[in-house]
Amino acid sequence: MPDAVRPKLVLASASPRRLGLLQQVGIEPDVLKPTDLDETPKKSELPRSLATRLAAEKVAAGIAWTKQDADLAGSLVLAADTVVAVGRRILPKAETIDEAVACLRLLSGRSHRVWTGVALGSDKLSVRSRLVEARVRFKRLSADEIDAYVACGEWRGKAGAYAVQGIAGSFVVKIVGSYTTIVGLPLSETVGLLEAAGYPVRAGWSSPIVASA
């Protein structure tokens, strides 16, 4: 597809991790437009429902924004939301030390689920979405490990108070499902949504490098 007719892509997220994952597969958004939504779960809302709802609401907010800019008319808007849960208990995107410590103590030595909802739409296309689940098991964390991790600050703003692609990767003893879902953007499902919407995903792929013997 010639670049002249390639739809523009707006990533409705401030997450450097989601941007990095897109760049990993050769996709460079044209615009980054974080949304500002109330992410508080509704009463009795299940983790999977929260991830799905917030991803869709972020896309809707992004589409409304593109309608105000003639240069972005028809742009595809991509958004995602990640929820960490133990059973039905939704863990916060930790902003305080107390929240971080509470999350890490809860996750220590047990399994939890990570749900990431991803949605894509435009002012010309209806919103389509996917929900992807991964299961993660942490080793038992000592008080010293929790204190040291909290001191590093990596947890701030992260669902469940950890970033699996960082230092907290050393806490993980088992993953069942998609690693990129845990990071915050399930790549297989995201690429599928983009291709279905006519975005030339493979246009940014370079020729494979052949390793020498």
Query: Which residues are annotated as catalytic?
Result: 81
CA gap 58, 55 in Å, rounded = 5
| DSSP-assigned letters across all residues of the chain | --GGGPPPEEE----HHHHHHHHHTT---SEE-------PPPTT--HHHHHHHHHHHHHHHHHHHHTT-GGGTT-EEEEEEEEEEETTEEPPB--SHHHHHHHHHHHTTSEEEEEEEEEEE-SSS--EEEEEEEEEEEPPPPHHHHHHHHHH-TTTT-BTT--TTTGGGGGEEEEES-HHHHHT--HHHHHHHHHHTT--GGGGPPPPPPPP-
CA distance 169 to 163: 7
